[in-house]
Structure 1
Amino acid sequence: MSEERFEVRREIAAQPAEIFALLCSPEGHVTIDSSGMLQSAEGEAVTAAGDEFVVHMDRESLNDFPMGRYDVTVIITAFEQDAHIEWTVTGVTEAPVEHRYGYRVEPSEIGTLVTSYYDWSQIAAPYREMGIFPLIPESGLRATLGILARTMEKK
C-alpha cells in the first residue's frame, strides 16, 4: 500500500454474490456507511462501469467542513460482476476530485474475503494542494466492513 491508498480486508460469512448485490445497490452504500455522511440514495442497482446513482450527503457528521447537506453522483469506474466494484463521486466541486473507493470480493473458507480500498493517488492538483486527503481514515473502512459483516451475517 502507498501513502495515498488504504486497503483493508475482512472475512464475512456470506456468499460473494450476496455481498456484491448489496455493494451494487445505492441503498446498500447507505446501509453500511460508517461515516454517517450518507443519508439516503436514489437510483437503480449498478451493473456496469459508467452507471451512476445519487447519494444525499450530510458532511456535518464528520464536523470537518461546514458543507451541510448536499448531493453527489456516484460514478462506477470499474465493474466485474461478483468480484470488483469501484467508483468516484462528482457534483460538489467544479472539477472532479478523482479519488476512488472500491471493493473486491472473493470466495473464502467461511464465505467471502472482502477487500475495501480508498485511493486518492489520482486527485487533481488543486485538491492535493489543499492537504485534506484522505477524507476518510483507514479506520472508517474497517468500520464499514464491520457493518457489512453485521448486515450480511444476520440475514
Structure 2
Amino acid sequence: MTEQHSTTVQRTIVASNAEIFAVLSNPENHVRIDGSGFVRSVDHGDRITGTGQVFTMNMSGDHMGGDYQTDNHVTGFDDGALLAWQTTPAGTEPYGWEWVWRLEPQGPDATLVSLTYDWSKVTDQDVLAQVKFPLVQQSALEESLGNLAAVVDS
C-alpha cells in the first residue's frame, strides 16, 4: 500500500472563474470559505497578486493548544486559474504543506474548482512526528468548496 501525501477534491461551481478567483485571492474571505473550522480571521494580508506574498491568519485548534497564527507564503499564482500557498506557524519558514486551488472554466458561468491539500514536501522528521497528516480531512475540503459556492452565490 502506498502512503498518501495529498488530498484533492473538485466541484463545479456556477460562477465565472474570475468571480471565484476574486473571492479566493482576498484573504479576508478565507474565514467564510474554511471548512476545517480552524480559520478565525485575517491578521494582515492584501489581495493576492503574485508569488512571494505572505498573509497571516488568526487560527484556533486543539492540535495547536488553542489560538495561534499562521503565515501563508504564496507559492503559486496564475490570475484566474491557480492560487497556492504554504502554511506555517507565524514567524517560521514553511515546512512544506501546501494548499492549491485550480480553476478551470466550464463555459462563461461555470468553473471546475479543485482544492488540493498537499503535504508531500514535508521532510522535517520532527514536524512529521508532531503533525498527524492529513490534519484536515477530505470532508473539510469538500465543505470548503461548498462554502466557496455559497460565498460566490451571495
TM-score (norm 2): 0.89
- 5+ long unaligned stretches in structure 2: none
Between the two proteins, the alignment pairs up a number of residues equal to 149
Partner residue in 2 for 1:120: 119
Kindly indicate whether the alpha-carbon contact (under 8 Å) linking 1:12 and 1:153 is maintained by their aligned counterparts in 2: no
> Structure 1, residues 104-134: CA drift from partner, whole Å, max 9, x if none?
0010145110000000011122222346111
Instruction: Please give the per-residue CA displacement for 1:64-105, whole angstroms capped at 9, x wherever unaligned.
Output: x25211111111011111000110122358563210011000
Task: State the Cα RMSD in Å.
Answer: 1.8
Where do 4+ consecutive residues of structure 1 move more than 4 Å?
A: 92-95
Aligned-pair identity in percent equals: 34
Closer, same or farther: CA 95–78 of 1 in aligned 2, 3 Å: closer
State TM-score, norm by structure 1.
0.88
Q: What is the match of residue 67 of structure 1?
A: 65
Residue 57 of structure 1: aligned partner = 59
Q: Following the alignment from structure 1 to structure 2, what is the Cα–Cα distance between the partners of residues 10 and 99?
A: 22
**Aligned twin of 2:31:** 30
> Which position in structure 1 is the counterpart of 2:50?
48
The change in CA–CA distance for 1:94 and 1:148 in structure 2 (over 3 A counts) is closer
Moved more, 99-108 or 34-43: 34-43
